[in-house]
Structure 1
Amino acid sequence: MSTQTLAVRLKRLLGDETTVALRPRYEGSNICTWIGFKHVNYLVEEAVLDHFRTAELPARELFEEYGLGLDLVELDTRIAHALHMDDLVEATVAPATKDDDDALRFRVTLTVVRDGERLRAATSKVRVLLVPDEYLDAAAPAAELARFTARAPEPEPAGPAPAPVVNTSLAEGRGTSAGDPVLEQLTAGENAFGWKWRIPYPYCHFTERIQMSGYLRQMEEVVDLFLADRGISIKQLLDDRRWIPVVPRSSVRILDHALMEEDLYTVYTVEEVYKEHTYTSRMDCYVVRDGQLVKTATGHITHGYAVIENRRDWSLVGFDERVLKAFHGRPAVG
């Protein structure tokens, strides 16, 4: 790739709007035929990757030629209309990088046709960095991309950590949520649930680090564990009332690299219950290095509940006393 061609491609990446037709993955349809928030975000990610391909700067070439990993490091998504299995979604990516930005920024809009009308299903703000590969030998530099290239950040310790204990072996299953001194420190005095878990390679990319989709999976999983811990597991409310959690908004921001096979400490903190219809929680993720807690990611997710009316339809419902008590940290009853 010549220097001139690289400059032209970067100009297209930063200036041209692109649109691609996508379908949600079958995996994302867990309750009836509705698509969960994680897979809505996967559509956003795929649209951004396609935008790079259209500009002839695909993720594969950036890595193989320049040793740069394309990392989505920030994702803030609002969902307005539910997506369903087999929907054909039109995803439009609009560049939003300003002259003084040191990262690539995009706005993504997902639309879908309902009863002959095209509706805005979701909108998302995305931030992308190009991260140099430090696992293999150095690659050829690309001066045009240097502005958006980020070396591994210097760790910003969040404070000293107690001595970690080994409790994420295979015998522990999904990790641990109790009896861990680091989790106890992180959740002390908070309306929070903590989970310690070993990062597996399927959550990672570019050989070393957990990627954005891995954190989205982490967010989905910690919500599931939190609800079960508070006595209102997803299956319980499905069986009792046909209630399902719905997500109007989610966000994740990666702050530092978390590496394959490190123990990840995830804390899920309830921040606000709004008018008995939605609640917002914060997810914070940490690793322990050299006796210090290092925060690697943070995010928020807003939930409501809907009742399943039939195999096609659902409608929003308000929280009752049992659910409210669970969110406020008191035992759920009934």
Structure 2
Amino acid sequence: MRAAAPPMSTKALLADTTTVRLRPRYEGSNICTWIGFKHVNYLIEEAVLVHFARCGAPARRLYEEHGLGLDIVALDSRILHAFHMDDDAEAEVVPRTSDGDTALTFRVTLRVVRDGSVLKAVTATVRVSLRADSYLTGPAEPPGEFGRFTVDRLGEGAPAEPSPAVPDGDEDAVLAALTEGRNAHAWKWNITYPYCHFTERLQMSGYLRLMEEAKDRFVKSRGISIKTLLDDRRWIPVVPRSWIRVTDEALMEEDLYTVYTVEEIFKDLTYTARMDCYAVRDGALTLTATGGIVHGYALIENRRDWHLVPFDQRVLDALSGKSSGT
């Protein structure tokens, strides 16, 4: 007979530091052997999950025994050094939850070895909510100390965000309203189950996949698709920073409108884009997540090395909407 698990406590979650070694997944190496930002963020998520498990509150136990879904509701990461296939990273998770906080906050640092030196490769801030399960029968029963971090719906307490009015008409009219007067690209997508977890809702990794797709769709719409610049110049996109915050829930098989808007081009080297995701409910648009990403371009020198390059006029015009980029 399996021994009963000890009672859960937030003491270790809020005080202890966790260190774990992780390797990026093979899937994330899309161009040469470099790892994309999405899979770097997956390492951050994995480190936080390990922290919960080592502190006696693994995600499975939280859900099966107490009806609590572990949800990352905010993720802000900075990539200081590129990750490569087969890198062995050391991840450090440090609790940063303050008195009165209603979400668990962590500082995550990823380190890698380069030429015999240990480099700080990534820094991130992660916020976690424990979502009381409402899909299956029976009320969620959070251990007493976990009640403070338990919510009935993701996005509770998030600052109110103005939502555009939904025009009368079809999908094209909604997309036109979302992009009117903005240097933006938008599309509608029906949320599929591989992007969801805990039976019903879109999870943070799903939003990361949407952010990656948003970039791909935007540059393609401007005539400078990923493959176009790879074939023409051996340029690849690089991401020094990304951030996403969940403001409400998005549910499996809902239609989600995603808007990718270029907000600033900085010194011909990087540009910042905003991503907003909306569900249509009761004739109004509800913001479910918002975030941003900083992009630049790098020239592939060989199978191992690359260096950043400034935007040329063709790329600047495409990013700013002055031309199709062709």
Q: TM-score range by the shorter chain?
A: over 0.9
C-alpha distance 4-203 of structure 1, shift in aligned 2 (>3 A): closer
Superposition pairs for residues 81-160 of structure 1, below 5 Å?
A: 81-137=81-137, 138-152=139-153, 158-160=163-165
Which letter maps to 1:57? A
Alpha-carbon distance in 2 for matches of 1:130, 1:164: 38
Partners of 1:64 and 1:26 lie apart in 2 by 30
The gaps in structure 1 that reach 5 residues or longer are 166-178
CA distance 1:294–1:164, change in 2 (3 Å):
farther
Question: How many angstroms does 1:150 deviate by?
Answer: 1.1
**CA spacing shift, 1:108–1:183, aligned 2, 3 Å:** same
Q: Give me the whole-angstrom Cα distance separating, in 1, the residues matched to 2:100 and 2:183.
A: 39
- Deviation per CA, 1:237-291: give whole Å up to 9, x if none: 0000000000000000000000001111000000000000000000000000010
**Residue correspondence of structure 1 range 235-274 to structure 2 within 5 A:** 235-274=227-266
How many residues of Structure 1 are paired with residues of Structure 2 in the alignment? Answer: 319
Mapped partners of 2:61, 2:182: distance in 1:
45
Q: Distance in 2 between matches of 1:4 and 1:52?
A: 14
Deviations 1:2-59 (A, max 9, x none): 998323xx10011000000000000000000000000000000000000000001000
- Are 1:323 and 1:332, in contact at CA under 8 Å, matched by a contact in 2? no
Instruction: Tell me: CA distance 1:239–1:158, structure 2 relative to 1, closer, same or farther (3 Å).
Output: same
Of the candidates 5, 8, 12, which is equivalent to residue 6 of structure 1?
8
> 1:218-243 deviations in whole A, cap 9, x for unaligned?
00001000000000000000000000
Match of residue 166 from structure 2: 161
**Per-residue deviation, 1:180:** 1.2
Find the residue that maps to 1:158 and give its secondary structure: coil
**1:276 pairs with one of 232, 252, 268:** 268
* d(CA) in 1 for partners of 2:83, 2:272: 22
Identity of aligned residues (%): 64
Pair 1:331 & 2:323 matched? yes
Distance (Å, rounded) in 1 between the aligned partners of 2:5 and 2:91: 30
TM-score normalised by the chain length of structure 2: 0.94
Q: 1:132 to 1:162 in 2, by over 3 A?
A: same
Partner SS, residue 245 of structure 2: strand
3-state secondary structure, aligned to 1:120:
strand
Partner of 1:195: 187
1:69 counterpart letter in structure 2: G
The answer to whether the 8 Å contact 2:142/2:150 transfers is no
Extract unaligned runs of 5+ from structure 2.
none
Compute the displacement of 1:163 (Å): 4.3
Structure 2: how far apart are the matches of 1:52 and 1:30?
30
Instruction: Establish whether residue 321 from structure 1 lines up as the match of residue 313 from structure 2.
Output: yes
Distance 1:164 1:96, change over 3 A: farther
Match of 1:219 among 189, 193, 211: 211
Distance 2:112 2:169 in 1: 48
Q: Is the 8 A contact 1:244 1:308 kept in 2?
A: yes
Mapped partners of 1:245, 1:206: distance in 2: 33
Q: What is the one-letter code of the residue matched to 2:212?
A: E
Residue aligning to 2:284: 292
**Letter matched to residue 314 of structure 2:** R
Distance in 1 of aligned mates of 2:234 and 2:146: 51
1:7-46 superposed matches below 5 A: 7=9, 10-46=10-46
State the Cα deviation string for residues 81-122 of structure 1 (Å, max 9, x = none): 000000000000000000121100000000000111000110
Deviation at 1:70?
Answer: 0.2
Structure 1 length-normalised TM? 0.92
Compared CA separation, residues 194 and 92, structure 1 to 2 (3 A): same
1:282–1:300 CA contact under 8 A, matched in 2: yes
Instruction: Give 2:226's match in structure 1, choosing from 211, 231, 234.
Output: 234
**21 and 4 in structure 1: CA distance in 2 versus 1, 3 angstrom threshold:** closer
- Given that 1:248 and 1:303 are in contact with CA atoms closer than 8 Å, whether structure 2 keeps it comes out as yes
Q: 1:333 to 1:269 in 2, by over 3 A?
A: closer
1:75 and 2:75 matched: yes
